[in-house]
Amino acid sequence: MTFLKSLKAASFSVPLLLAAPAMAQDIAEPVDDGSDNFTIGLGGAYAPSYEGSNNYLFTAAGLTRGRVSGFNFYSRATALYLDVIREPVGSPWNVEFGPMVNVRIDRSSRIRDPRVRALGEIDTAIEAGAFFGVTKAKVFHDYDFLTVRLDVTHDVADSHDSTIFTPNIEYGTPLSRTFFVGASVSAEHVGGKFADTYYSISPLGTAASGLAAYDADSGFKNVRFTLLGTQSLSGDLRHGLAIFGVASYSRLLGDFKDSPIVSVAGNADQFFGALGLSYTF
């Protein structure tokens, strides 16, 4: 399962990904000596001005992942994960567990809609917590994998002071030694303080923005579907230069969809795209 782990880390380290389980015939089992490695990537992204906005902007996108002394770390969008459980060599099952931290910059700057901008900027949230996941290798063939993971974080910067639960399902498969595709489905369940911070509008906010007063409650905020492709430019996904592309669709739900910040000033359908280069040492 070490080859799958290497592919998974190399390809899912960007904001995440439905791909057919077909496999090209030129994939052969490579040797993985468990040595340390490090990947860094940089590119550009096209994303909403804030979650729920119908105004889009260009911004930078980055990724990192690596393995040190058998322990893996990787990024997902603005979150960083450290897996403190070493992978059992040759096992079709792998358990992942460890600390994580996420930086939430939503509505902290670059708000395009003047009504939402009039509500004021929100301080950056630092969400710290832990994740637990289980990966099954060889689902449809010898080289694919399926991961189920739960992230649990809490804002420690007193921005929204709320707990967030994020279940994830990820599937990935290489189509050759140089090309990988994958898909993910995730959702976010947020607390009442999060809902108030980002989606409620007070009477003072109504006076400043012209948007109707609104009281959002806790619940599932959104569901997200993501596709990713990674093409090696050096002949091997585990080493050298590669190009990655990401496409994501998210749908806001419940009280979050009905907030005037979304229903009047924005849109419940959210799209994201990114393209960049990565290098693995």
Token pair listed for 216: 């959002």
User: CB neighbours of 42 closer than 8 A, spacing ≥ 6?
Assistant: 60, 61, 62, 63, 276, 277, 278
On the question of pLDDT at 23 being above 70, the answer is: no
CATH for 201: 2.40.160.40
- What are residue 263's phi and psi, to 5 degrees? -70, -30
Measured CA to CA, the distance from residue 194 to residue 166 in angstroms comes to 14
Residue environment code for 86-104, b if the CB has 16+ CB neighbours within 10 A, otherwise e: ebeeeeeebebebebebeb
pLDDT classification of 71: cutoffs 50, 70, 90:
confident
Confidence band for 8, pLDDT divided at 50, 70 and 90: low
Average pLDDT of the segment spanning 196-221 = 97
**Which SS3 state, helix, strand or coil, does residue 197 take?**
helix
Give the H/E segment covering residue 205. Answer: helix 203-209
Residue 228 pLDDT greater than 70, yes or no: yes
Q: What is the torsional sign of CA 172, 11, 124, 112?
A: negative
CB proximity list for 268: less than 8 A, separation 6 or greater: 52, 251, 252, 257, 262
Task: Give the structural domain span for 229.
Answer: 2-280
pLDDT at 32: 47
User: 2 φ, ψ to 5°?
Assistant: -65, -35
Look up tokens 């700057």; give the residue: 109
What is the tens place of the pLDDT at every residue in 130-161? Answer: 999 999 999 998 889 999 999 999 999 999 99
The mean of the pLDDT values for the chain is 88
Note the pLDDT of residue 14.
45
pLDDT (mean) for 155-181: 95
User: CA-CA distances (angstroms) from residue 109 to 51, 104, 122, 130?
Assistant: 12, 11, 8, 27
- Identity of the residue numbered 55: N
Which residues have CB under 8 Å from 176's CB, separation 6+? 24, 26, 27
Number of folded domains that form the chain:
1
Cα dihedral 100, 106, 110, 115, rounded to 10, equals 180
